[in-house]
A = this chain, B = another copy of it.
């Protein structure tokens, strides 16, 4: 992976550090400054992609030529870039765990230039994947045990984004994805039905239903809203009866008043002894609409959730930062208006009941009843242990979610659990600030 996948200023700073022999250990902390108003918690994601990048990141001869010929770096700089490999340590909140604002998601300790060069990649991947995992978690909460399926691929911000969305939504409990390549790559359940175009390509709706059911008798889902939804359902029922279909059957609605239609459809199906035929709803759904439908007891068995989850439409990013907190054993902080950062290498100690986090200096002993959240995932540039499976990360998510208070899980007016600083960390902040203001 090319080291040019970064912001120019990282290269400028790294070259300057190398020239000056500023190679001592630095610690950077990656954190979210504030939660969006509609988020009561975050789900950590992205660090595993980062660990893979860190393992591969380097500058090849073509990269060096660009650095020299176009960007004007010196021959000595090029030697430093050529030698660059990430040799540092990474502590992070494991993927799937709940995280909050104001506490480190990732802490990197490495020679200054190395830790600086990776800023852009780490921010990019952790911000994006955590944004999506946190949004998808809200959909899972809203569905309250009913299936949620990722339909986002067609409107994610690029193809790579679509693959990542399928993966992190599965991590928080989505039951399947429409994205076939993601299903293959990550071992997910591929899910899919038919489009309106399929119906329209046939001379009439019932011919289309019959054809599809003949071709996929084991997994026929009938999209019924191309022309007239209720007549569509009647035609689907006729085809199911006519062909004596069994297997996993479903009716899909994609427009109109989903709650009202689902009730009508359920009645029509039950009256025809088709209580095993499921109802799948889609069409611009987000977690608030799902919650409303579920609370209303609407007989929808599965929700296809697309764009709103796949781009985290209400809040498509998080206010992340990657800040130097310590260089050469000297704690540092910035005092920019509204952006003051806490200094020092830290650990997050979590209490489960009631849920609360304490940010402390990394070498403080764990307070009674609290366990550390940041784990060492990379040591001296090598991954510690193996990458967790999606199932393992999902189990972590479920365990944390079960401990979160209702106020944090609330979708409309959530209240995040408390994050406090230890007395020792507060003391260090005060001292550092005093030193800097002098």
Residues of B within 8 A of A181 (CB): 2, 4-6
A118 to chain B, nearest CB (A): 11
The segment from A140-148, A294-302, A315-323, A357-365 that touches chain B is: A315-323
Contact between A71 and B157, CB atoms less than 8 A apart: no
Could you tell me the distance between the alpha carbons of A154 and B6 in the complex, rounded to whole angstroms?
8
Is the beta-carbon distance between A336 and B116 smaller than 8 angstroms?
A: no
- Contact partner, A333, options B195, B200, B212, Cβ 8 Å: B200
A227 and B158 alpha carbons, distance in the complex (Å): 38
Assess the A201–B121 pair: CB atoms within 8 A. no
**Residues of A bordering B, CB below 8 Å:** 2, 4-13, 15-17, 19-20, 22, 26, 28, 66, 70-72, 112, 116, 119-121, 123-125, 127-128, 131-132, 151, 153-162, 164, 178-181, 183-184, 190-201, 211-212, 215-216, 218, 225-229, 254-256, 307, 311-313, 316-318, 320, 322-324, 327, 332-339, 436-437
Are B337 and A200 in contact, with the CB atoms below 8 A?
Answer: no
Contact indicator A336/B254 (Cβ below 8 Å): yes
Residues in chain B near residue A15, CB distance under 8 A:
215
A211 CB, nearest partner CB in chain B, Å: 6
Q: How many Å lie between the Cα of A335 and that of B437 in the bound state?
A: 68
Rounded to whole Å, the gap between the CB of A167 and the closest CB of chain B is 12
**Cα distance A339–B223 in the bound complex, in angstroms:** 14
Task: Give the 8 A-B residue pairs with the shortest CB-CB distance, closest first.
Answer: A8-B192, A197-B324, A9-B192, A157-B157, A200-B332, A160-B160, A123-B154, A7-B178
Q: What is the CA–CA distance of A155 and B184 in the complex, to the nearest angstrom? A: 27
